[in-house]
Structure 1
Amino acid sequence: MSRLALRFGAPLALAALTALALTGCTGQAQPGSTATTGAGAGGAITITASDTACDLSATTAQAGTLTFRFTNTGSKVNEFYLYAAGDRIVTEAENITPGLSREIKVEVTEAGTYTVACKPGMSGDGIRTQLTVTGTAPKGSSDAKLTTAVAAYTKYVESETDELVEETGEFVAAVKQGDVAKAKALYPKARMPWEEIEPVADAFGDLDHRIDGREAVLATGAKFTGFHRLERDLWKTGLQPDSGAVADQLLADVKQIAAKAETVEPEALSIAGGVDALLDEVATTKVTGEEERYSHTDLWDVKGNVVGSQQALAALRPVIGERAPELLKALDARFVALTTLLDSHRAGDGYRLYTQLTPADVGALTVALDALSQEVAKVPGVVGAP
């Protein structure tokens, strides 16, 4: 399949690929949560999150498929994280708005002490509680077709990261040459492969934040680097004395991504959860124009995320088709509808700027994304069913 087809409307039915949403980051625990200590094995662990608390119904569980039912009873948007040792993120769910409930399923195959964190306001280290997992469980899927698809997705990620290095190299060269017009033209093209692998981007730990962090990271004391720092330099402030150094670091970080892509080991349930979280983020933040606040090339990002999500969920087709054929039909229909809508905003070899969209345009995209997200949210339950 040509790369152009992958980017501009390859149907879900034609793909046989997959993704994993495992990530790594660091943080310090904060007190303030309460929990019971009953066994969590075999049943869902409910999490009631407010602006000041993160209450778990159980703090022990047996290895295997863990189910968390997260309800935000507070006034702030919240996030859920499950950390392994060293604050490696096992799974996460972002942008859980007040009053919303989310079900998160994840494969945890090894015993140990894990950490559940709620992040009211989506900032800081969160309100944390330890979760003890006992026993062990088989890792990966015994489904030969799914195993083959997972291997195919690994190749897909490797291919996309190779292109990411190539496209970023051209973009960085233009920045360092001071060719602002060329750099602006190359910026969304360089970001496209990154957006396509975003279901697995968090697996790259701090590199994710260095490459794709937005200006808000300054409030946390972190450095503002990567694509969005250069976006600001190109569209708002003008190139700065250190823009060349920032560009060099971006390329170096992207090359590390390409090297690390070979070590990603997908699992079916993490695939489903990763795509669910990504599309929820697209529906609640990226469609608002928040991502590309200076360049307004948001539709490129949305398209990349949609294509990446298609490739990820395609790996699960054998399971979804057997267990929930009507859901598979709905997913296909929702992807086609959203792709058709996005393609109506094509301009040349790319997309219209976000500032050129009317409120009606944004509303239509939001409705289509919400409709897709609602169907994708059912996939983890299907994949994780006994």
Structure 2
Amino acid sequence: MPKIMRTALRSLPVLVLVTGVAACADDKSSSTSDSAAPGAAKVTINVTDDGCTPSPATATAGPINFEIKNTTATKVTEAELLRGDTIMGEKENLTPGLSGSFSLKLDAGKYTVYCPNAKTEKVDFTVSGSAAAGSADAAVGTALTDATTRYQQYVAAEVDKLIPATKTFTDAVRSNNLDAAKKAYAPARYFYEEVEPVAESFGDLDPDLDARIDDVDNPAEWTGFHRIEKGLWEDKSTKGLAPVATKLDQDVAKLKTLVATVKFQPAQLANGATELLNEVASSKITGEEDRYSHTDLSDFEANVTGAQEAFSLLQPALEKIDPTLSSTVRQQFASVLDSIKPFKRGDTYVDYTTVKEDQRKVLTQKVDALAEPLSQVAAKVTL
């Protein structure tokens, strides 16, 4: 996540101003299968190199479906809706000819459409009036409330595991034990990758923890897991990494403090689940994420496991709302996890460079088959 473009908060906003967020569909298609919330107003955002103006620029509080289109823009491939510094919804990787959408249930207030790298990056968007009350029955409402409570507990528990796992990793770095550090790298990252969308909501914390070299303006300021990864595998040395290791411990401790304050909406769980699937498709399957260690399949499993946990907590409510969709998503999660089992060796996975292109294609197809129905869940659980 480039710091120059990612100083705003990300996928799972801490604020509870949004009462529903629909997940993003697969960015590789020229259309979107995202489901709009029932009765949603329509706002079109045309992405251009000059800027991105919403049409209309005002809306009534309640469900709103934002349709993002890029016809010819080459410098701008992303549109976000901000309230203050908080990203309420976004669509990324929209190269010319691609389109996508996201749905939100917004309260009255001032918002901003933000298109990084455009000539005019920010344009005002205004919501007025009051949103109508949700129509979910009492049993559904109770199930969704329980899901958000239990997800907060899950996130806190995984961060509690992340802290000692990271210290095992950083202690090895500080003691110049190259082999031990390499062995501890993927297990520590696993807990982080399970809950990464939550970490992304805290401004620069995710880049500090997880930025890749091409995501930073000044390589001398590069920190986090991947900075150490490069030292261990490419430079084959822990020289100069002790301060980076100590900062990593500090940033993980900061994450623990922050997650204790997070409050979730039901649709945000579904949005976060799809964000994790997008992580798999955009950086794990391509081999971009762990380009030095090639431990991508461990991250792959962690992303899918984290997404599955969010979905499973929503499942009791979704069974009442749309049992067919619930069953489809559940089956596709099982299919994706089954697809990586042949590459597992004990507690680890094979070096990702040994996974052939045809095998990667199968993994991509499995993820796509899950992402499509999963992208429909957020609108279903919007109250």
Structure 2 length normalisation: TM-score? 0.83
Cα distance in 2, alignment partners of residues 88 and 214 from structure 1:
23
Within the candidate set 43, 49, 57, 2:55 is matched to 57
C-alpha distance 83-190 of structure 1, shift in aligned 2 (>3 A)? same
Aligned to 2:83: 84
Aligned to 1:350: 348
Cα distance in 1, alignment partners of residues 73 and 205 from structure 2:
31
Within the candidate set 306, 309, 316, 2:307 is matched to 309
Aligned residues of 1:42 and 1:62 also touching (Cα < 8 A): no
Cα distance in 1, alignment partners of residues 130 and 209 from structure 2:
35
Aligned residues of 2:51 and 2:118 also touching (Cα < 8 A): no
AA aligned opposite 1:257: L
C-alpha distance 326-266 of structure 1, shift in aligned 2 (>3 A)? same
Identity of aligned pairs, percent?
A: 36
Note the 1:312-331 alignment, pairs <5 A.
Answer: 312-331=310-329
Cα distance in 2, alignment partners of residues 303 and 320 from structure 1:
24
Within the candidate set 193, 215, 218, 2:216 is matched to 218
Aligned to 2:360: 362
Note the 1:1-386 alignment, pairs <5 A.
Answer: 21-22=12-13, 42-74=40-72, 76=74, 78-85=77-84, 87-109=85-107, 111-119=108-116, 127-137=121-131, 143-219=141-217, 223-239=221-237, 241-384=239-382
Cα distance in 1, alignment partners of residues 220 and 100 from structure 2:
30
Per-residue displacement from partner, 1:252-280 (whole Å, max 9, x unpaired)? 00001011111111111222223223312
C-alpha distance 138-247 of structure 1, shift in aligned 2 (>3 A)? farther
Which segment is superposed worse, 127-136 or 150-159?
A: 127-136
Q: Kindly report the root-mean-square deviation, in angstroms, between the aligned alpha carbons of the 2 structures.
A: 2.5
AA aligned opposite 2:193: E
Cα distance in 1, alignment partners of residues 238 and 118 from structure 2:
29
How many residues align? The count is 345
Cα distance in 2, alignment partners of residues 332 and 72 from structure 1:
33
Cα distance in 2, alignment partners of residues 43 and 138 from structure 1:
13
Query: How far off is 1:296 after superposition?
Result: 0.6
Cα distance in 2, alignment partners of residues 168 and 301 from structure 1:
15
Per-residue displacement from partner, 1:215-253 (whole Å, max 9, x unpaired)? 013336882110000011111123354310010000100
For structure 1, the residue ranges without an aligned partner over 5 or more in a row are: 1-19, 25-40
Cα distance in 2, alignment partners of residues 124 and 255 from structure 1:
36
Cα distance in 2, alignment partners of residues 231 and 139 from structure 1:
49
Per-residue displacement from partner, 1:65-103 (whole Å, max 9, x unpaired)? 332111222364722322112x22223333334433222
Cα distance in 1, alignment partners of residues 80 and 241 from structure 2:
34
C-alpha distance 124-351 of structure 1, shift in aligned 2 (>3 A)? farther
Cα distance in 2, alignment partners of residues 105 and 276 from structure 1:
14
AA aligned opposite 2:114: A
Runs in 1 of length 4+ with deviation above 6 angstroms? 123-126, 138-142
Per-residue displacement from partner, 1:169-194 (whole Å, max 9, x unpaired)? 11000000000101001000000000
Aligned residues of 1:22 and 1:89 also touching (Cα < 8 A): yes
What secondary structure does 2:78 align onto? strand
Cα distance in 2, alignment partners of residues 364 and 138 from structure 1:
44
Per-residue displacement from partner, 1:178-211 (whole Å, max 9, x unpaired)? 0010100100000000000023221222111100
Cα distance in 2, alignment partners of residues 201 and 125 from structure 1:
30
Query: How far off is 1:51 after superposition?
Result: 4.0
Going by fraction, where is helix more abundant, 1 or 2?
1
Cα distance in 2, alignment partners of residues 303 and 233 from structure 1:
24
Aligned residues of 1:285 and 1:291 also touching (Cα < 8 A): yes
AA aligned opposite 2:248: L
Per-residue displacement from partner, 1:327-364 (whole Å, max 9, x unpaired)? 11110111111100111210121111110101111111
AA aligned opposite 1:78: T
Query: How far off is 1:106 after superposition?
Result: 2.4
Per-residue displacement from partner, 1:135-182 (whole Å, max 9, x unpaired)? 354899871111112111111111000011110011000000000101
Aligned residues of 1:23 and 1:203 also touching (Cα < 8 A): yes
